[in-house]
């Protein structure tokens, strides 16, 4: 038996103009789309609501049982279905919106652009090699730092596209724009608290790994001295070079600027 197709995510944001504030709040929580699409019975767009609109309505004296009619944004920015990704991003950035309803020629809702979703590039995951029984097995995933940079981009920081769409099988190379993004996070940690905490956890992770690397190097040096390693490497000299490698270079470079 075939399973029914999952509902398109944007349809979860649809409510009627007769809905109450409580129903709009529940819709925002359930859909996680950060916008409510108020639709007429024929599917055409009446307007939109965000948590900010609801908050302002409550401050004006509305309660949870009040209808949403008086707080609907009836002339929201919309996009036709044929508009390309790059133009949509430019339009959203210029108008400082993170969600953009897609409507057809009759103003019927046919989709929803999300800033966060548009900034997630179509990409191949990172190449990892696991040695098992002498054979190399390849797996594909972006690194935790690649995901952190994608998160920064989704939050509106200017992360270069070549960093978001890079070949994840290649070593990461530090970038001045990425360093500037982290500098902004550190300079205003109160506003970007979750990103600041993420950065510090990444630094903690690399710091502890480097402690392990140093301990490993000194242990090897204590046991075999300057002899070649059993894995065919140059031994201690190879491990000393590994101490210079950095996982998250901009998070270390930015410390001289904060």
Residues 169-195: pLDDT tens digits? Answer: 788 899 999 999 999 999 998 899 999
- Its CATH architecture, for the domain 127-256, is Up-down Bundle (1.20)
Q: Could you read off the pLDDT of 50-92 as tens digits, one per residue?
A: 988 998 888 888 898 999 999 999 999 999 998 888 888 888 8
Tokens encoding 70: 């008086």
Q: What is the CATH number of domain 9-118?
A: 3.10.580.10
DSSP 133: T
Beta-carbon contacts of 254 under 8 Å, excluding residues fewer than 6 positions away, are 179, 182, 183, 186
Q: Could you read off the pLDDT of 130-165 as tens digits, one per residue?
A: 333 344 444 456 888 999 999 999 999 999 999 998
Residue with more model confidence, 131 or 17? 17
The Cα–Cα gap between 20 and 36 comes to: 12
CA separation (Å) from 111 to 14, 45, 78, 115? 11, 11, 10, 13
3-state secondary structure of 110: strand
Residue with more model confidence, 3 or 80? 80
- Residue-level pLDDT at 136: 41
pLDDT exceeds cutoff 50 at 6: no
* CA nearest to 18, candidates 47, 44, 38: 38
Sequence ranges of the domains in the chain: 9-118, 127-256
Residue with more model confidence, 57 or 230? 57
Q: CB of 96 within 8 A of CB of 59?
A: no
pLDDT exceeds cutoff 80 at 239: no
Q: In the chain, which residue ranges form alpha helices assigned H by DSSP?
A: 21-31, 51-59, 85-95, 115-118, 144-154, 161-164, 176-187, 193-224, 236-242, 249-253
Query: What number of other Cβ atoms are within 10 A of residue 206's Cβ?
Result: 18
């Amino acid at each position: 038996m075939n399973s029914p197709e999952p509902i398109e995510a944007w349809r979860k944001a649809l409510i009627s103009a007769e809905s109450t504030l409580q129903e709009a709040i529940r819709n925002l929580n359930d859909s996680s789309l950060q916008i409510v699409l108020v639709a007429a019975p024929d599917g055409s767009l009446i307007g939109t609501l965000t948590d900010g609109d609801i908050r302002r309505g409550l401050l004006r004296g509305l309660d949870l049982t009040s209808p949403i009619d008086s707080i609907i944004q009836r002339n929201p920015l919309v996009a036709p279905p044929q508009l390309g990704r790059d133009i949509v991003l430019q339009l959203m950035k210029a108008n400082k919106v993170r969600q953009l309803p897609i409507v057809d020629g009759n103003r019927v809702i046919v989709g929803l652009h999300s800033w966060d979703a548009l900034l997630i590039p179509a990409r191949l995951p990172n190449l990892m090699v696991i040695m098992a029984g002498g054979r190399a097995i390849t797996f594909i995933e972006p690194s935790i730092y690649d995901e952190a940079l994608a998160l920064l981009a989704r939050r509106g920081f200017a992360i270069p596209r070549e960093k978001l769409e890079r070949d994840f099988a290649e070593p990461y190379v530090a970038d001045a724009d990425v360093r500037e993004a982290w500098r902004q996070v550190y300079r205003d940690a109160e506003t970007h608290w979750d990103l600041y905490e993420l950065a510090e956890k990444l630094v903690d992770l690399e710091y502890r790994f480097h402690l392990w690397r140093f301990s490993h190097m000194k242990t090897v040096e204590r046991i075999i001295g300057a002899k070649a390693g059993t894995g065919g490497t140059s031994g201690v000299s190879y491990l000393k070079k590994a101490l210079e490698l950095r996982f998250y270079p901009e998070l270390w470079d930015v410390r001289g600027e904060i």
